[in-house]
Amino acid sequence: MAEISSLLTLQGQLALLTLVGFFLARKGIINAQGRKCLTDLLINVILPANIIQSFLVEFSWDVLKSSASILVISLALQIGCVVLCALGYNWLRRANVLLDLEKVAIGGGISKQPILVETLNEVYEEYILRGHPFSEAQARCLPRPEIVPCRFLSEANQIGAFASYQKAFLEN
């Protein structure tokens, strides 16, 4: 649970920084060049530093359980949207597909652990397809996505950083 609270704290900090920048620009305290400088600071320094910090978490069963919980919560939110559509607009009977996720790719350092994808698939099968009252409706409307690790696993951030560097400095 500590990982989720630190994630929410991080998201709150990023949102607060964005709101402060918006407020300063709205009040005319900073100009367009200042906004660009703050945006660059947020995107090029603060966000990568937070990503690096998130990779410093040691892998454990608690991290795996938290990841599985986050996946289940996000899928439950998607199912909630389907239910709201069915209750509010009666679209469930007329729609063939409301959301068609063919593949869910898990990235980052944790994606190197083979047990992660296996566990996520098991949790999906257990909870989403059999564990709630809307399982039958979801099976009709939301085809089962394939849950896979990303192609570059934990090296994706390095490849992306190099591609960004190459685009910014080597192509000009």
Type of residue numbered 163: A
147 pairs with which residues across the strands?
104
Averaged pLDDT, 23-44:
84
Handedness of CA 21, 22, 27, 33 (dihedral sign): positive
pLDDT at 23: 85
Confidence at 96, pLDDT banded by 50, 70, 90: very low
Averaged pLDDT, 48-63:
78
| DSSP three-state, residue 59 | coil
Type of residue numbered 153: L
**Residue 95: how many other CB atoms lie within 10 Å:** 15
Confidence at 32, pLDDT banded by 50, 70, 90: confident
Averaged pLDDT, 139-157:
78
Q: DSSP E strands: which ranges in the chain?
A: 103-106, 146-149
Find out whether 105 and 149 touch, Cβ atoms under 8 Å: yes
Least reliable range by pLDDT among 31-40, 99-108, 148-157? 99-108
| DSSP three-state, residue 149 | strand
Q: Is it the case that residue 18 has pLDDT exceeding 50?
A: yes
- What are the pLDDT digits (tens) for 109-129? 777 888 888 888 888 877 766
Cα separation, 78 vs 142, in Å, equals: 10
pLDDT at 95: 46
